[in-house]
Amino acid sequence: MKALLDAELLKMRSTRATALLVLATLVLAVLTVATSVPGVMEENSSISLDDPDLLAMMVGNGFGAPQVLMTLLGVLAFTQEFRYGTVTSTYLGEPRRMRVLVAKGLSLALASVVITILTLAVTLTLSIALIRSQDGNVTVAAQFWQTVAAGFVVMAAYGVAGVAIGALIPNQIAAVVGVLIWMLAIEQMVIPLLPDVGRWMPFAAASSLMQLGPSYGFFDDQLLPVPLGGLVLVVYTAAAVVLALRITPKRDVL
Amino acid sequence: MTSARSTALRGGLMTIELRGLTKRFGDVLAVDNLSAVAQPGQVTALLGPNGAGKTTTLRMLLGLVAPSGGTATFGGRRYIELPDPVRQVGAVLEASGYHPGRTALDHLRILATASRLPKDAPMRVLDETGLAEAARRRVGGFSLGMRQRLGIAAAMLGDPAVLVLDEPTNGLDPPGVRWLRGYVRALADEGRTVLLSSHALSEVELIADHVLVMAHARLLRSSSLAALRAEAGVGSRVRTPDPERLGAALDAAGLSHRRTDEGVAVDATPEQVGELAALHRIVLHGLEGTADLEKAFFRLTQEPHPPVERPLTAEGVLS
């Protein structure tokens, strides 16, 4: 398994696309954080500059774009192989396809650690600078650490789920467009408009885990409780992985 | 070329066996009850027109497509059951199997890493296939011929005893085809089993020891190339400055003939044609014997045939 994992990590490192995606995502994270500081945008007035959870909220908001990135990286891990036909040599090297799927999942989980650290480094630095520039209080409260820990879990879950989605939908355009529509349109509409349904969606579950209710105009009790949010996210990820593990070995590679 | 490698094949000699191999895609029967053997030390060609089922057969052999029936094995084991498969079987299935943004060296390093091959294996095979200077170039900038070479380099990474090639000369220029012929021949001469598919008889004629002729999802013939040649009968190719007189003489002798780009093709031995030309005092600039394999191939693949039913043994090819 280590050899397969090393090969998957080498695949990620050996094209420019990964670095460019990460870079673009960090830029988006910066923009998100920059508009999260109270006083910059009207809707951020729900939290004050002196709130002890402000830093956690700003850093947590910064994970929006990286969550999308992790899913896309996961999706691309498989769909690029189908698009360019490299899946043939991958399966010739390791014909037990479940092991390939597991190696890709592990590689995305490892990549998520690096990308989460990069995201935290950028968003935390910027958040502290912005709060201080507005004469606010920078408080490293308990929620901050919970949000950071949740960030690692959410990013890994989205990366692994992306791999499973890519394995299930080999057509790259269909998979990428589908994921973007789901994450950027459907969830963003359903969660505020139909909260009873929306709170069970993956993005709402991730938000509850990161305790971001107030930043989306929700009271905390409109999202699932933190443990349940975490559980829902894990169940979604596990379901996608189980489905992919069942289907991948049976699919003909033409 | 291959002298740098150990000729003592690590996995030993390995026979490819297909037994009753069948694949159905919905209502379409892509491969119908195909049984055949490819022996070590030989180049076996799977020959047939486009859509005959050659690629599906090779993909079933390599575990990429699940058979609807039958088995395909290497030395008695299915591909998925082979320990370290890349060290035992090398395959080239498509020229587009590369990420265009990746360098040739990185492409091979990924494959070598996944199969725990020595770190120097990628450069060794790049050197063998004449791509050493392009090692750090992105594959997106490669010609089709270079990609074919890279595919063969990937197949040879594990120094395998078996090589499976799907239409390996596609996109190769004449020097590339010549190189490939020599490379494949040398591998077979080392005792390796080579199974390649092709739709072009002219290529197979120059490479193969044994041919498996496929059409309409079925195996129509399994025989040595020499046997197929003998069955096809012999002909002659003649170059003459006076084709009209030669044609009249051939007509008078009852020998069928036709004009081609290279002269006149006659359904008779060179001796018969030479004697006839001498008798009529017709000047010839060239006279050579040909086996009309192409005609035999078309006859085989275009006419309806019952399925081949032959005894199959691991020791001997179908005959």
Tens of pLDDT, residue by residue over A212-237, are 655 555 555 678 888 888 899 999 99
Question: CA-to-CA distance for B53 and A178, rounded, in angstroms?
Answer: 34
Which among A1, A4, A16, A89 is the top mutation candidate for probing chain B, defined by the most B β-carbons within 10 Å of its own β-carbon?
A: A89
Q: Please tell me which of the candidates A4, A14, A84 has its beta carbon nearest to residue B114.
A: A4
Nearest by CB to B101, which of A16, A89, A92?
A: A16
How many H-runs (helices) and E-runs (strands) does chain A carry?
A: 12, 0
Is residue B115 within 8 Å of residue A6, measured between CB atoms? no
Residue A226 within a domain = yes
Residue B263: the pLDDT is 82
What are the tokens at A180? 């973007």
Q: Give the residue-averaged pLDDT of B312-316.
A: 41
B168: which residues sit within 8 A by CB, 6+ positions away? B92, B148, B151, B152, B180, B184, B196, B198
Q: What is the pLDDT of residue B310?
A: 44
pTM, to two decimals: 0.79
Which of the listed CATH numbers 3.40.50.2300, 3.40.50.300, 3.30.390.10, 3.30.70.980 matches domain B234-291?
Answer: 3.30.70.980
Q: How far is B73 from chain A (nearest CA, A)?
A: 14
- Look at residue A39 in the predicted model and tell me its pLDDT: 61
Instruction: Give residue A248's pLDDT.
Output: 92
Q: Can you tell me the mean pLDDT for B127-152? A: 89
Counted domains in chain A: 1
Check if A89 contacts B (Cβ < 8 Å): yes
Out of A3, A17, A80, the one facing B113 most closely (by C-beta) is: A3
- Rounded-to-integer distance, Cα A218 and Cα A61, Å: 14
Q: Does residue A180 lie within any of the structural domains?
A: yes
Q: Tell me, what's the pLDDT at B182?
A: 87
For residues B57 and B54, give the distance between their C-alpha atoms in angstroms, rounded to a whole number: 5
User: Does A199 lie at the interface with B, CB-CB under 8 angstroms?
Assistant: no
Which pLDDT tens digit goes with each residue over A44-67?
556 676 677 777 778 888 888 888
Q: Do B80 and A84 touch (CB under 8 A)?
A: no
Asked whether residue A30 is domain-assigned, the answer is yes
Q: What is the pLDDT of residues B236-281, one digit of tens each?
A: 889 999 888 999 999 998 888 888 777 888 878 888 889 999 999 9
- The predicted structure's pLDDT at residue A41: 53
Structure tokens at A118: 């990069």
Residue A254 lies in a domain: no
Positions of CATH 3.40.50.300 in chain B = 16-230+297-302
Query: pLDDT grade, residue A40 (50/70/90)?
Result: low
Taking the alpha carbons at both ends of chain B, their separation in whole angstroms is: 33
A252 touches chain B (CB under 8 A): yes
pLDDT band (50, 70, 90) for residue B117 = very high
The stretch A99-107 carries a mean pLDDT of: 95
Residue A66 lies in a domain: yes
CA distances to A13, B246, B252, B265, B266 from B259, in Å:
60, 11, 17, 6, 9
A125 interface with B at CB cutoff 8 Å: no
Res B304 pLDDT > 60: no
Of the ranges A156-160, A208-212, B158-162, B228-232, which one carries the lowest mean pLDDT score?
B228-232
CATH superfamily for B16-230+297-302 is: P-loop containing nucleotide triphosphate hydrolases (3.40.50.300)
Mean pLDDT of B312-318: 40
CB contact under 8 A, B80 and A95: yes
